Amino acid sequence: MIKVGIAGASGYTGLELLRLLIKHPDVEITAVTSEKHQGQKLADVFPSFGGFSDLQFVSLSPAIADTCDILFLALPHTTAMNQVPAFLTGNCRVIDLSADYRLKSAEIFEEWYSVPHEQKEALSQAVYGLPEMHRDNIRSAKLVANPGCYPTSVTLAVAPLVKTGWVDLDTIIADCKSGVSGAGRKLATHTQFAECNEAVSAYGLATHRHTPEIEQEISALAGRDIRVTFSPHLMPMTRGMLSTIYINLKKDLELEALGKHYREYYKNEPFVRILNLGTFANTHHVAASNFCDIGLQIDSRNRRIILTSAIDNLVKGAAGQAVQNMNIMLGLDEKTALDSPGIFP
Amino acid sequence: MIKVGIAGASGYTGLELLRLLIKHPDVEITAVTSEKHQGQKLADVFPSFGGFSDLQFVSLSPAIADTCDILFLALPHTTAMNQVPAFLTGNCRVIDLSADYRLKSAEIFEEWYSVPHEQKEALSQAVYGLPEMHRDNIRSAKLVANPGCYPTSVTLAVAPLVKTGWVDLDTIIADCKSGVSGAGRKLATHTQFAECNEAVSAYGLATHRHTPEIEQEISALAGRDIRVTFSPHLMPMTRGMLSTIYINLKKDLELEALGKHYREYYKNEPFVRILNLGTFANTHHVAASNFCDIGLQIDSRNRRIILTSAIDNLVKGAAGQAVQNMNIMLGLDEKTALDSPGIFP
Amino acid sequence: MIKVGIAGASGYTGLELLRLLIKHPDVEITAVTSEKHQGQKLADVFPSFGGFSDLQFVSLSPAIADTCDILFLALPHTTAMNQVPAFLTGNCRVIDLSADYRLKSAEIFEEWYSVPHEQKEALSQAVYGLPEMHRDNIRSAKLVANPGCYPTSVTLAVAPLVKTGWVDLDTIIADCKSGVSGAGRKLATHTQFAECNEAVSAYGLATHRHTPEIEQEISALAGRDIRVTFSPHLMPMTRGMLSTIYINLKKDLELEALGKHYREYYKNEPFVRILNLGTFANTHHVAASNFCDIGLQIDSRNRRIILTSAIDNLVKGAAGQAVQNMNIMLGLDEKTALDSPGIFP
Amino acid sequence: MIKVGIAGASGYTGLELLRLLIKHPDVEITAVTSEKHQGQKLADVFPSFGGFSDLQFVSLSPAIADTCDILFLALPHTTAMNQVPAFLTGNCRVIDLSADYRLKSAEIFEEWYSVPHEQKEALSQAVYGLPEMHRDNIRSAKLVANPGCYPTSVTLAVAPLVKTGWVDLDTIIADCKSGVSGAGRKLATHTQFAECNEAVSAYGLATHRHTPEIEQEISALAGRDIRVTFSPHLMPMTRGMLSTIYINLKKDLELEALGKHYREYYKNEPFVRILNLGTFANTHHVAASNFCDIGLQIDSRNRRIILTSAIDNLVKGAAGQAVQNMNIMLGLDEKTALDSPGIFP
């Protein structure tokens, strides 16, 4: 059995890792950390795990790496950064679900996160963990930077278009809608039920930190710098993320041709589904699953492609993708523990 | 007291008209129609009105116009069309909340609604009831076509930009998010709780019938044909509509200048609020109120304006705007019965 | 104009007082306090009030009482207790929305709240502000203790039965369901959206502090000590409270007779509505209104009455009832600023 | 592989059977029926199944039984009744999720369902499929009547008390709260989003058809006729059911003793969890899982036990329990395809 540890296991991403890994046939969870709940049993704090585990939360320390083959870090952004090198000294491999190692450029990181990146060596080793784009590098990675939820949802939708020559890549607008769990479990006024229930709102327009992450991946594919307009919104639901993406066409295009291209592009991907033409993505259809559903439409009056892309922000947008990365790193069937349909209704 | 009738009073728009008009000091509701509930008392079918009214639903007939100074039509699209001329023969004035008389061009109507418009004379009389744009014509109108919720939300946000010369009007994209009540009270699978709860989805991309209505109003302001990309989405909440609108700048612009312009443009409008710079529109802040809140942002990296516009789809997006139109038609204070803050939380 | 102040105006109860009082024709709000937001404008922190008020939050000090005819205290339980006597020295009259002055017996207060009650003199002056039971005393009260939401909902439903002799008063069970706003605006894990959405749970079974408040009022009516089983539950909605109450019958009773009795008992009460026989209370029908809807049923197989009672916890369960009390204290029409139907849908 | 068919596969219970059975390692789904969707592919109608199945809906006919070892009937109440005997003629075994075969007494069925029960022979064969009470009979059953959601939740909570002598069995009151999916997928006004969102309401008080089912099971355990008061309520959430149950104690009892008894009673049951003393059941902790969580409390002031019992109405309350029954009937590990923690958050 492969030994795995989860640092920050009492946050929503950590809990989702637990839910998935507890049923993973090749894995044994050896440590779960939580500063807040250390000393308490997982199942006492989170009764949904009753009967599944006798794990007890411990405090995070570098020694955890000695007991794990794979260590998942589900810590707040900029918290994990300086701890990562210590975890990497032995045989342990790290999957970091924070944003700290996602941006290749320390400069761009510092520009958007307003803190210096002091682990440039570790940063240079990190592989961006979007399997559909970097599967080969993930296989042998010592450190995987698990993508953000918004970048996963947008990049998977846009990627097939980048090299077609059909679209003007300088016109990408991603209007994204996220469930509240994306904000994490730490207390905040704007995530209190009475504040965000019956409320749809925009936030971080033109300034959200997932912007450079999307740009990095699309630029890498395009072979030149691409900028996007990215607009996050908060939705009154727990899970789910829908991205609606607009890109100008450079020439007329038939929807059938677009559909054929997308199906071909993703024909070997187990977790990307291209929807029937005429139907659009719905977060409900991917709830609690690792799928990314992509819907296609052409606004021919305005010569524009409209993509819709739905994921569960906690699964394909975080914990599920991390498990997918782990499966790849370990040479397991990539679908292990992830191969379930969504919960509907 | 002014006598008003409501045709289709048991739908969500009709109920909202009732809620507002029951407290209107200058109005007496003389008739409410519902084919489904005819013969039943309003307060028996809808207990929220208990103690407020002894009204009984009746069947709709042309005679209703004889008993009203103002008749509100809250009937399904294309149902009211052929009944309107009969209502207009006497002294009664009509506010039609359906889409039947909103489009000036019968051809465009037929193109998007796939039915012929057979009341061209009445159509030529109709005034589009967006007070912020057509107040003077509304005053004396015999027939007011009350705007759709999406067009209200988008047009109010975009209007101040049209004549500035700052933006490229051929780049307008409106990504709109609506609560479920916008779909009305008739039964449908996709509006069942278990279907749309915990679900965010797109629908009608590139084909929704509110597109030509938005285009008509913006084109009229611009003095030339403008086309927009309009994308409606369904949100898991009862009330509220948020539109996020993208328009390319033709030159650099400071946010402060944009804010100043919007405040000046709407300085005399009682129901349009320009939000503090740096804050964005939230449907929760306009719930059950007649306000349209507009937030401003400039994505300077991409030289693009991002507008956010929030309304309650049943109030400023339907019944509230209809009452505002009535107040104008009758020479009353435009704010009568509408001058309340939103319900928060 | 009557001058009113609101201490703790940035909590949910305080905000609801603001919403109601801003539209009250006889009232001028002279001061709003918030330690957290002092120095900020109300409308900047809570945009729903944009255009309605230039008020600025100040810090609470005893001097506030000098500027008000009526001071509302919407402070956390046990916070206000020792400040109240200072507010009462001048002409100011106080409506305290906390629990500190609701229980007549300092001993019982100390037993349930685990803190001593050190203001016994003020306590002896306090009138329990349930208008339907204590209207005459409220009229002249210097200090009104505004009832809790659960006690309001349960007491109004049970009161008509107490003196009938029909029921065994020692068998009262109140199973109550509350929206999340009842927990207030302070941050807590269990009121975060992702925790309480899609969740129904019980809390405080057999130990909740509203128990003695319910018992005090029913006992006073009965003329002897009555104990009740009271079970609160948290519901995934913002506003609303439904109480389902079980009481054993001592003899057979017809539902019609029960209905007649309830209608007679409350025939002069403007905010209690007895529902049609065969229909049950629904929080949706009283949303944002000051009504208490009571539904009646007899389980004749088990010789038991089942009452359902619905209020909006923030209105009749808090701020609305406080305004009702103010109207009574000032000799105004009791319905002023409260006479609106609920928001449906 | 065992061949199973699902009649009525496009309802919520049918879809949940599909979700569970598609991942069941010993089962092959050979037929899914839906009158509404016949001829359509499962994954076209319900995109959550995309990639998991090529099944196509067919119309229901008696021949379906020839192709199945196990046939699940997820049909509306009283629809399946007369079809069942035809399905039983061959080797096929039937698990009926309707109410038609749950009540042993045709008379009681007719009294509560107002239709005659015309299949008395089949009825006499039916085994009530609550594994915790009838596991041995289920093993060899030809026809299993899968319990209702409310009866499952209430009976599992009450059963351990029946033979203790501690309680007065004539005082049972079950106040139950259900998510909206329990009402099924057929269209109805009261299950439309805008109607039941932000709404908590009671329905069917003293008359709901699950009453005799609860009484049958508790009476069987008690060895005499027991009557209960059962009150269902509708909650604004998709899945989940919480039952709060009140029973008078005949003598004082310590909570620790109660806890010990419950743990002992259910020590071998894989899907019943007794919560830590001092904590109460929460539907969120069992979401999408087959668990029944039971919380215990004693109201010693009133000498009353208060039980809380949480299930997912579509899993342990319907489809999950049906799969559990199938596993038992087939001699498989009872937990197969059901052994997952709930989805939290």
What pLDDT digit, counting tens, does each position of B79-119 carry? 889 999 999 999 999 999 999 999 999 999 999 999 999 99
Question: What's B40's DSSP letter?
Answer: S
Burial of D54 (0-12, 13-18, 19+ CB in 10 A): exposed
User: Does residue D167 sit in helix, strand or coil?
Assistant: strand
In the structure encoding, which two tokens stand for residue D107, read together? Answer: 């008379």
Residues 233-252 of D with CB under 8 A from C: 233, 235-240, 242, 244, 246
Mean pLDDT taken over chain B: 97
Q: In what order do the strands lie in the sheet with A229-234?
A: A201-202, A229-234, A173-178, A241-248, A304-311, A292-299, A272-274
Is the CB of residue A202 less than 8 Å from the CB of residue B295?
Answer: yes
Q: Do D202 and C300 touch (CB under 8 A)?
A: no
Q: Least CB-CB distance to D201: which of C197, C246, C281?
A: C281
pLDDT of residue C79: 86
Helix (H, G, I), strand (E, B) or coil at B296: strand
pLDDT at B78 over 90: no
Instruction: Please report the pLDDT score of residue A62 as a whole number.
Output: 93
Pairing of strands D57-58, C241-248: unpaired
Please check the confidence at residue B296 and state whether its pLDDT lies above 90.
yes
Select the residue of C189, C196, C197 nearest A187 (Cβ to Cβ).
Answer: C189
First to last CA, chain D: 35
C298 close to D (CB below 8 A):
yes
With a pLDDT cut of 70, the percent of chain B lying above it is: 100
Interaxial angle between packed helices B149-162 and B255-265, expressed in degrees from 0 to 180 and rounded to the nearest 10: 110
Residue C233 has pLDDT above 90, yes or no: yes
Task: Find all residues with CB under 8 Å of D264, minimum gap 6, and list them.
Answer: none
Mean pLDDT of B152-170: 98
CB pair distance less than 8 Å for A284 and B199:
yes
- Hey, which chains touch B, using 3+ CB pairs under 8 Å? A, C, D
What mean pLDDT is predicted for residues D29-33? Answer: 98
Q: Give the pLDDT of residue C78.
A: 85
Residue C60 has pLDDT above 90, yes or no: yes
DSSP string, D221-286: HHTS----EEEEEE-SSSS-EEEEEEEEBSS---HHHHHHHHHHHTTT-TTEEEPPTT---BGGGG
Interval C15-38 mean pLDDT: 98
Q: Which domains does chain C have, with CATH numbers?
A: 2-125 (3.40.50.720), 150-313 (3.30.360.10)
pTM: 0.98
Compute the C-alpha angle C271/C272/C276, nearest 5°: 130
Whose structure tokens read 């007794």? D274
- Give A239's contacts in chain B (Cβ within 8 Å): 198
Q: From A194, which residue of chain C is nearest by alpha-carbon distance?
A: C238
**What mean pLDDT comes out for the span C100-109?**
97
Average pLDDT, chain A: 97
Choice among A30-39, A76-85, B17-26 with the minimum mean pLDDT: A76-85
pLDDT at D165: 98
- Mean pLDDT of all residues in C204-227: 98
φ/ψ (deg, to 5) at B117: -95, 110
Residue A286: helix, strand or coil by DSSP? helix
Do residue B185 and residue D194 have CB atoms under 8 angstroms apart? Answer: yes
Tens of pLDDT, residue by residue over A76-101, are 988 889 999 999 999 999 999 999 99
How many angstroms separate the CA of residue B202 from the nearest CA in chain A? 6
Three-class SS of residue A176? strand
Q: Which helix (H) or strand (E) holds A311?
A: strand A304-311
Strand partners, B175: B231, B244
The residues of D assigned a catalytic role are: 149
A11 with A185: CB under 8 angstroms? yes
Instruction: Tell whether B345 is within 8 A of chain D (Cβ).
Output: no
Average pLDDT estimate for C137-142: 98
Q: Look at residue C77 and tell me whether its pLDDT is greater than 90.
A: no
- Chain B residue numbers with beta carbons less than 8 Å from the beta carbon of A181 are none
Non-local CB neighbours of C235 within 8 Å, separated by 6+ positions: C177, C178, C179, C180, C200, D177, D200, D235, D236
Does the structure show a pLDDT above 90 at B77?
no
Contacts of D47 in chain A (CB under 8 A): 273, 275, 279, 282, 285, 293
| Residue D148 backbone dihedrals phi, psi, to 5 degrees | -70, 160
* Mutate: best of D181, D192, D237, D241, partner B, most B CBs <10 A: D192
Q: In what order do the strands lie in the sheet with D2-7?
A: D57-58, D27-33, D2-7, D70-73, D93-96, D143-145, D127-128
Q: Supply the pLDDT for residue A278.
A: 96
* Closest to A212 (Cα-Cα) out of A194, A200, A225, A197: A225
Measured CA to CA, the distance from residue D33 to residue D83 in angstroms comes to: 14
Could you tell me how many helices (H) and strands (E) chain A has, helices first?
11, 14
Contacts of A226 in chain B (CB under 8 A): none
Report in angstroms the alpha-carbon separations of A280 from A3, A239, A246: 40, 18, 14
Residue D65 is predicted with a pLDDT of 95
Three state DSSP letters for B149-197:
HHHHHHHHHHHHHHCCCCECHHHCEEEEEECHHHHCCCCCHHHEHHHHC
Which letter does DSSP use for residue A14 in this model?
H
DSSP states along A198-250? T--EE-STTT-TTHHHHHHHHHHHHTS----EEEEEE-SSSS-EEEEEEEEBS
pLDDT at D77 over 90: no
- Closest-CA residue of C relative to D234 is C282
Our CA dihedral for C160, C162, C168, C169, rounded to 10 degrees, sits at 120
User: Do C273 and B51 lie within an 8 Å CB cutoff?
Assistant: yes
Q: Find chain C residues with C-beta within 8 A of A192's C-beta.
A: 180, 185, 187, 191-193
Contact between residue D198 and residue C310 where contact means Cβ atoms under 8 Å apart? no
> Which residues of D, range 162-191, sit inside 8 Å of B by Cβ?
179-181, 185, 187-189, 191
- Position A286, amino acid: V
Q: Is the pLDDT of residue B204 over 90?
A: yes
Best probe of the C interface among B42, B48, B284, B339, by most C CBs < 10 A, is B48
Beta-bridge mates of residue C241: C178, C311
Strand C70-73 and strand C93-96: pairing? parallel
- CA separation for the pair A153, A321 (Å, rounded): 12
Q: Does C206 touch chain D (CB under 8 A)?
A: yes
Which chains are within 8 Å of A by 3+ CB pairs? B, C, D
- Minimum distance, in Å, between the CA of residue C310 and any CA atom of chain A: 19
Chain A contact for D24 (CB, 8 A cutoff): no
Using an 8 Å Cβ cutoff, are A343 and D19 in contact?
Answer: yes
- Of the pLDDT bands very low, low, confident and very high (cuts 50, 70, 90), residue C123 is very high
Residue A275 CB-density burial (10 A; 0-12 exposed, 13-18 middle, 19+ buried): buried
Pairwise CA distance, residues A164 & A251, whole Å: 12
Contact B345 C293 (CB under 8 A): no
Give D153's contacts in chain C (Cβ within 8 Å): none
Residue C87: predicted pLDDT = 96
Among A12, D236, A185, CA closest to C199 = D236
Specify whether the CB–CB gap between A203 and B295 falls below 8 A: no
Q: Return the amino acid letter for B109.
A: F
Q: Active-site positions of A?
A: 149
For the segment A215-230, the average pLDDT, to the nearest whole number, is 98
Give contacts of B 114-143 with A, CB under 8 A.
Answer: none
pLDDT in tens, A294-314: 999 999 999 999 999 999 999
How high is the ipTM of this complex?
A: 0.97
